[in-house]
């Protein structure tokens, strides 16, 4: 398995997030990536494949906003991390406002994702990490690539940030794989949280399958996406599959949903797989409520690898930092074993 990582992904370091009515320390820390790297060994650096594959997924105005947001925040006389406080939820007009607070609202959907000085730099290289892993697999250097992405991506939509995510690394890699003629492409999202950004990006797209196993949004973030009755829209109806599970889910309860997800990937005639992998399904994750054990991550990797598809595994969440490296290594070891089985 080829592994990609870029040191510039460590620069993004917001201080705090709004959580349960107060400020708490930002959970998506740079040492998450460092602990994974320490557990899995050396990685190739990302190559710069430019902004075009990012712009193929994200709105041009959003990218201009994101690149400039922290500078605009400082120019408005603020310090620290940029964060919005007014979200134009219903029927927002497409007006091109200049005030940073208006732009933060326009291009985000929550208060858990501050923009720090280097956020654009880290998000850009996180996307390049996914693209480089895709490029390596496409060139045939290995059948599987692990993109050690950070910040994560699956909550970011075409024109919005949120949930610690800025650029949707998995969607960018999926679109690039399709563009290179490697499809049909399926995205299997096995982070604890529903990948609302990925779902939105491909909801109306008939030849991109999005399948997600996640905590029931009736009880868990992101609440307004990921319910079982969301199947895709327009021409994409039927190419979205949501498998929400209750808090407390252990391997015995998780595996039937996994069976269903894998069956959907097979039924789609998938030729290329993107896995949005979050280790926040772990029993001791501090912000999540499933009960997978480290040994379950081995099984999970084996089961996904048994699809025997060329794959890019894109890192998403996982916040039990002391266990994170070993959990990711367990998943990747299982994946390697499952390919050979
Ligand atoms: C990102 B990923 C809890 C409130 C929710 C956002 C969670 C984003 C998770 N502090 N904060 O899917 O792991
Ligand atoms: Zn998550």
Kind and range of the H or E element at 321?
helix 321-340
Ligand 1, closest atom to CA 163?
8
Q: Which residue of the set 70, 154, 155, 194 is catalytic? A: 155
Ligand nearest to the CA of 112: 1
Spell out the per-residue pLDDT of the chain, length 341, in tens.
999 999 999 999 999 999 888 999 999 999 999 999 999 999 999 999 999 999 999 999 999 999 999 999 999 999 999 999 888 665 677 888 999 999 999 999 999 999 999 999 999 999 999 999 999 999 998 999 999 999 999 999 999 999 999 999 999 999 999 999 999 999 999 999 999 999 999 999 999 999 999 999 999 999 999 999 999 999 999 999 999 999 999 999 999 999 999 999 999 999 999 999 999 999 999 999 999 999 999 999 999 999 999 999 999 999 999 999 999 999 999 999 998 87
Ligand nearest to the CA of 161: 1
Q: What is the pLDDT of residue 89?
A: 67
Residue 63 C-alpha to ligand 1 middle, in angstroms? 22
Task: Give the SS3 label for residue 23.
Answer: strand
Active site residue 231: no
Pairwise CA distance, residues 304 & 312, whole Å = 12
CA angle at 296 for the pair 290 and 297, rounded to the nearest 5°: 95
- Residues at CB less than 6 angstroms from ligand 1: 19, 112, 152, 155, 163-164, 191, 193, 221, 278, 280, 287, 316-317
Pairwise CA distance, residues 3 & 1, whole Å = 6
Assessment of whether the complete model's pTM goes beyond 0.95: yes
Pairwise CA distance, residues 295 & 291, whole Å = 11
Residue 286 C-alpha to ligand 1 middle, in angstroms? 11
Q: What is the pLDDT of residue 332?
A: 98
Q: Which one of 32, 193, 220, 315 would you pick to mutate in the ligand 1 pocket, going by the greatest count of ligand atoms within 8 A of its CB?
A: 193
Q: What is the pLDDT of residue 294?
A: 98
Regarding beta strands 208-215 and 22-25, do their DSSP bridges make them parallel or antiparallel, or are they unpaired? unpaired
């Amino acid at each position: 398995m080829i592994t990609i990582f870029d040191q510039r992904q460590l620069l993004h370091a917001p201080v705090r997030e709004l959580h349960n009515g107060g400020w708490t320390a930002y959970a998506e820390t740079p040492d998450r990536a460092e602990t994974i790297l320490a557990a899995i060994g050396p990685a190739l650096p990302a190559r710069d494949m430019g902004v075009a594959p990012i712009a193929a997924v994200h709105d041009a105005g959003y990218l201009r906003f994101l690149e400039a947001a922290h500078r605009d925040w400082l120019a408005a006389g603020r310090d620290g991390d940029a964060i919005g406080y007014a979200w134009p939820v219903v029927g927002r007009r497409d007006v091109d406002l200049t005030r940073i607070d208006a732009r933060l609202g326009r291009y985000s959907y929550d208060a858990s994702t501050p923009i720090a000085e280097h956020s654009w730099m880290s998000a850009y290289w996180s996307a390049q990490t996914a693209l480089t892993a895709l490029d390596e697999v496409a060139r045939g250097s290995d059948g599987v690539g692990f993109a050690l992405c950070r910040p994560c991506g699956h909550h970011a939509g075409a024109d919005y940030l949120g949930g610690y995510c800025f650029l949707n690394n998995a969607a960018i890699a999926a679109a690039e794989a399709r563009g290179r003629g490697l499809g049909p492409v399926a995205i299997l999202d096995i982070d604890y949280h529903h990948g609302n950004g990925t779902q939105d990006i491909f909801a109306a797209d008939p030849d991109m399958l999005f399948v997600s196993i996640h905590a029931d949004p009736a009880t868990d973030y992101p609440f307004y996406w990921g319910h079982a009755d969301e199947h895709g829209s327009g021409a994409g109806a039927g190419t979205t599959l949501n498998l929400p599970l209750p808090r407390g889910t252990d391997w015995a309860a998780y595996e039937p949903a996994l069976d269903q997800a894998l069956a959907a990937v097979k039924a789609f005639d998938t030729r290329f797989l993107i896995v949005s992998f979050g280790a926040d399904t772990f029993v001791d994750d501090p912000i999540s409520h499933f009960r997978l054990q480290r040994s379950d991550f081995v099984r999970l990797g084996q089961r996904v690898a048994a699809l025997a598809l060329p794959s890019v595994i894109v890192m998403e969440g996982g916040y039990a930092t002391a266990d994170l490296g070993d959990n990711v290594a367990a998943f990747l070891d299982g994946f390697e074993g499952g390919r050979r089985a």
